[in-house]
Each structure stands twice: as structure tokens, then as C-alpha cells.
Structure 1
Amino acid sequence: MNNQSKKLRVMMNCAIFAAITAILAQVEVPLPLIPISGQTLAVGIAATILGSKQGALAMICYAAMGAVGLPVFAGFSGGAQVLVGPSGGYIFGFIVTAFITGLILEKTRFTVPMALLANVIGMFVTLFFGTMQLKLVLDLSWGASLAAGVYPFLVVGFIKAFLASYIGITVRRRLIQANLISIPKKEIA
């Protein structure tokens, strides 16, 4: 495969996972301040399948689509005001989460147990960014920030981490077999 084909495949993978994130963002359970949505599941799946760089690029693409006003964020919302609002930290956290989750897998092995560990760490990265912005924007105390931005998401977060790990590794293996994503030489050995 030539270099131009590889670049096109990377761009397509990032666009596909940005779209999947936009779709799963609409699967939502409303809570008072921040809803529980499928966005974080999509972030974990993207990172588990694509790895650090492409996973982060997919989330940058997702955030950029929303920033320009496309209704890709939870509740069919979009615009820069979402990124600077109470829930914007979670969206910025998706980029870092995808990179760290993918990097952990690249440095270890793409297996379900390692993906689960990487996705749990990623969950805490997202919660950190989200809670920090929630605290700053709403001028909450640390206790109130944790009560609104972390505690309601822990149980569901562990479930999403498991689902992202299992789905991600399963789909990744099939995409590799179909020659739709390339794997580093380290993984072949």
C-alpha cells in the first residue's frame, strides 16, 4: 500500500470513529448537571481499535465538528459554547483519553485484559478533565465537583470500559484480518 493510500485510510478511520462518537453521544441518560451518554464508550472503542495517534485524531475531529456547530455532542448540541461550558472538559478529555488508552495498549498488548486496564485508566482521565472544568465553570467546591462530575459516572464507566475493551479488541482483530487497519511490527511478533 502506498503512502497516499495509508493517509487516506487514516483519514477515513478517524472520520468513521468521529461519526460513531457523534451517534453514540445521542444515547443518553439525563442527570441534573451532566448526562450519561455513549460518548465515552465510543472513545474507548476508538482508542482500542485505532491506537493512540489515530484514536486521538478521531476525537480531535469529533471535537472540531462540534466546535463549528454541528450537533454531534450529547443532546444534539454543538458549538463552541459547549466546549467552554460545564461539560466541555469531558470533550477535551476524550482526546487525551484516546491517546493514553491507545498508548497503553501499544506499549503492552492488544488483549481484552490490557484493554480493560487501559480503558479504566482512560475513564479516570476523562473524569479528571471533566471535573476540573465543571468546578471552574460552575465555581463549585471540590466536594460538589466530585459529586456532580465523578461519582455518578463510576459504575457506568466501569461497564463502558469493559464493553469498549471487548468490542474494541474483537473488532480490531477482524479489521486486521480484513486488512482494513495496519498493525505495528511489534504486534506481529
Structure 2
Amino acid sequence: MERNLTHIALFAALIAVLGLIPRIDLAAGVPITAQSLGIMLCGTVLGAKRGALAVLLFLALVAAGLPLLSGGRGGLGVFAGPSVGFLVGFPIAAFAAGWIMERTTLSPGTAATAASIIGGIGVLYLFGISGMALNLGLSLTEASFLGMAFLPGDVLKAVVAGLITQSLARMRPASLLSRA
């Protein structure tokens, strides 16, 4: 139990640290950040439940006002902006990536890349694009077009998540809780 709590807290901190990398703001008001890499890693390394819990802890800290999102944003106001769909989708994306990791027999790197693409991109975009459409008064098609600006960077992050997960599996197999 203590080990699980430590891992959950560590990965919530990882997401926060990835927010220190300078963000790039799009015209729609949704920033491109490295934090989605942390969401992917929560699922691929911790598994579905622990990964989602790590993201929920991170979001609780953000809601409490800590400036942990990229650009030093925090507080309840961020849950009313154009990126709310992405924030709501974070724990679900981590859960989906972890669920896939737990159930596939592919090599850890391949499984993590696939899980990151399906969960960390597919599931996250489902929520993020819907949130952009609602908050910005756009059609789903228009919001999808805006959301495609994130795709090249997110595919790169999915590959990096696969490489990191593969490295962890090689160096310390027991650290890959999604496969325990």
C-alpha cells in the first residue's frame, strides 16, 4: 500500500515537473505542453488504476490552486477554459493506456507506444476536442481541425513514452507496475 501511494505521488510530481517546460499557446487558447507525456507514462508504467489516481491527485492539487499546469496556471478557473476537456480526459486517458498495458502481451516498448497512442492521444482527444467545441462555440469538425495541431507532438510523446517504458522494463522490470 505504501509503495503504491509513493508511486502515485511520484507520478503526480512528474506531471507537475513536465509543466515547467515552456508551453506554446495556440490561437484557440489551449497550450501545447509536455504534461501529456506524463499522462501517458502514468498509464504505461503504473497501470490503469494507479495511473488514473496519480492524475487525479495532480488535478486535485491544481484545483486547490497550486500553479502546476504549464505556464504556472492553477485554481478552479482552469476548469472553465478551453482546455477543460483535456483536463477532464487526463485521468481517463491514463486509465485507458494502463488498461491496454495490463492486457497486452506485446513487448513493453511496443505495448506502451500503442497504449499511449490509443489512450494518451485517442481518448484524450475525444474529451479535449469536445471540450474545445463546447467552450469555444465551435462545431466538432472545427474543433477537430484545431486539435490536429497537437497531433505531431503527441505522436512524438507517445514514442518517447514507449522508449522510456521499454528502458524501465529492461533496467528494472519490477518498476513496471502495469505488468506486475
Give the TM-score of the pair, scaled to structure 1.
0.86
Using a 3 Å threshold, how does the CA distance of structure 1 residues 80 and 58 change in structure 2: closer, same or farther?
A: same
Which residue is equivalent to 2:164? 167
Shift of 1:139: 1.2
Q: How many Å separate the matches in 1 of 2:77 and 2:60?
A: 13
Which residue is equivalent to 1:121? 118
Using a 3 Å threshold, how does the CA distance of structure 1 residues 26 and 182 change in structure 2: closer, same or farther?
A: closer
Once the two structures are aligned, what percentage of the paired residues are identical? 34
Residue number among 20, 34, 37 corresponding to 2:33 in the alignment: 37
User: Aligned-residue CA RMSD in angstroms?
Assistant: 1.7
Shift of 1:173: 4.4
Shift of 1:125: 0.8
- Contact 2:8–2:54 (8 Å) recurs in 1: yes
Residue number among 64, 68, 93 corresponding to 2:64 in the alignment: 68
Q: How many Å separate the matches in 1 of 2:176 and 2:18?
A: 22
Which residue is equivalent to 1:4? none
Which residue is equivalent to 1:14? 8
Q: How many Å separate the matches in 2 of 1:35 and 1:48?
A: 23
Shift of 1:81: 1.3
Shift of 1:182: 5.3
Q: How many Å separate the matches in 2 of 1:88 and 1:42?
A: 17
Query: Which structure 2 residue ranges, 5 or more long, are not aligned?
Result: none
Q: How many Å separate the matches in 2 of 1:55 and 1:182?
A: 10
- Contact 1:48–1:169 (8 Å) recurs in 2: no
Segments ≥4 residues shifted beyond 4 Å: 180-184
Which residue is equivalent to 1:111? 108
List per-residue Cα deviations over 1:18-54 (Å, max 9, x = no partner).
Answer: 1110111232223222111011111111211111111
One-letter identity of the residue aligned with 1:151: M
* Count of matched residue positions in the alignment of Structure 1 and Structure 2: 176
Using a 3 Å threshold, how does the CA distance of structure 1 residues 71 and 172 change in structure 2: closer, same or farther?
A: farther
